[in-house]
């Protein structure tokens, strides 16, 4: 069952179209992330769901009801903005209870629900404090408690983690997912951070230039990108021109730029015909580096030279030269990383190659 449905939504600002014909169903109880670079239309989409912007065309339904003309305060939504928007002159308890004032909730019930909300965000003893007395991460939790206490049909989160430092962001994304799973509230989360989207989501909606590029579970969107944009935006990818040489019942023989002939399993590729040109995507972590002469374990292998090493602690990112071609590989470091100038075997499992449509550049 879809709690939120967008049907051919268009949003124009004068001559500029921010969202193009967007249709999307958001299942009940799911955590949906709108992911994309700045200016892709994700926040505009969220604001239309919230009622802060009106769609130029199309319909928005929440709980089966068309809400295009329903004002924000009648949509029963919880919203957490990037800056938290807490009232500095009110206590934490008063901030959390603010949305209950207009819903006819008794004082006794309000006190109980505030207590439960503080327990949920694991800050049970801060009700008498003021926002300025809390850390950024604690303020973020209070903003979340305030949004949840009204028991919304949908929770909307507009880049709520962007103001936090890196370590706190990681902690808070775990907390956000825990709270969403515990409450079961359908949640729409906006971010430009791919690691947040992959770690937290049930469904990832990748957007570019106001259009939906792909919708799917994180594993599907990451491992089987539908476009070159997604392959480049999510993770680190090697994108190589290729030509289909032959197709059999079980295999596809591809001539891949820099790698030569590579035989791919047919059941893991899209439909492709002999002589068709395309592009191959290979994730950087799928390239395995080894010293020349060591067993290849059935992997396709070519020799390259390490140009640059980006040491990342447990792993290293290698920039590799293969003739006129540069590849990137991310490998875990077991003993010591390869060094600049080292000759290495670049090894690839054929099943880790993903075929994209389109003419090679």
Per-residue CA distances from 21 to 4, 5, 11, 318, 320 (Å): 16, 13, 9, 40, 41
The pLDDT value recorded for residue 189 is: 96
Domain chopping of the chain, boundaries: 2-231, 236-356
Average pLDDT per consecutive 10 residues, the chain (361 residues; last block may be shorter) = 94 97 96 96 96 96 94 92 86 94 88 95 94 91 93 93 81 90 95 93 97 96 93 94 92 92 83 91 95 85 95 94 95 89 94 75 40
C-alpha torsion 195→201→204→207, nearest 10:
-60
Phi, psi of 56 (to 5 degrees): -75, -40
Q: 58 pairs with which residues across the strands?
A: none
Instruction: State the pTM of this model.
Output: 0.90
The pLDDT value recorded for residue 360 is: 42
Architecture in CATH for domain 236-356:
Beta Barrel (2.40)
* Strand, helix or coil for residue 48: helix
The pLDDT value recorded for residue 359 is: 46
Architecture in CATH for domain 2-231:
3-Layer(aba) Sandwich (3.40)
Residue with tokens 């199309």: 58
Quote the CA–CA distance of 356 and 115 in Å, as a whole number.
52
């Amino acid at each position: 069952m879809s709690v939120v449905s967008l049907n051919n939504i268009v949003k124009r600002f004068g001559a500029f179209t921010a969202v193009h014909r967007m249709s999307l169903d958001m299942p009940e109880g799911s955590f949906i992330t709108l992911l994309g670079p700045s200016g892709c239309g994700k926040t505009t989409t969220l604001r239309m769901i919230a009622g802060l912007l009106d769609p130029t065309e199309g319909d928005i339904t929440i709980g089966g009801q068309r809400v295009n003309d329903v004002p924000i305060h009648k949509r029963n939504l919880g919203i957490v903005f990037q800056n938290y928007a807490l009232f500095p002159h009110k206590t934490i308890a008063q901030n959390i209870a603010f949305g209950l004032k207009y819903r006819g909730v008794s004082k006794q019930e309000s006190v109980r629900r505030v207590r439960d909300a503080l327990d949920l965000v694991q800050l049970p003893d801060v009700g008498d404090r003021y926002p300025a007395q809390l850390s950024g991460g604690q303020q973020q939790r209070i903003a979340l408690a305030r949004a949840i206490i009204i028991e919304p049909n949908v929770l909307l989160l507009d880049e709520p983690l962007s103001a936090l430092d890196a370590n706190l962001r990681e902690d808070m994304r775990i907390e956000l997912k825990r709270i969403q799973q515990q409450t079961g509230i359908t949640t729409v989360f906006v971010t430009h951070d791919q690691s947040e989207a992959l770690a937290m989501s049930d469904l990832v909606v990748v957007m570019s230039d106001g259009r939906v590029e792909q919708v799917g579970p994180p594993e599907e969107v990451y491992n089987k990108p539908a476009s070159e944009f997604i392959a480049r935006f999510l993770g680190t990818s090697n994108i190589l021109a290729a030509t289909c040489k032959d197709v059999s019942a079980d295999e596809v023989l591809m001539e891949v730029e820099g790698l030569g002939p590579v035989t791919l399993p047919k059941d893991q590729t899209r439909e492709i015909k002999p002589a068709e040109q395309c592009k191959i995507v290979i994730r950087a972590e799928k390239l395995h580096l080894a010293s020349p002469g060591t067993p290849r374990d059935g992997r396709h292998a070519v020799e390259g030279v390490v140009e640059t090493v980006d040491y990342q602690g447990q792993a290293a990112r290698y920039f590799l030269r293969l003739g006129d071609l540069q590849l990137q590989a991310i490998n875990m470091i077991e003993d010591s990383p390869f060094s600049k100038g080292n000759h290495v075997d670049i090894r690839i499992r054929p099943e880790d190659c993903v075929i994209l449509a389109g003419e090679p550049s």
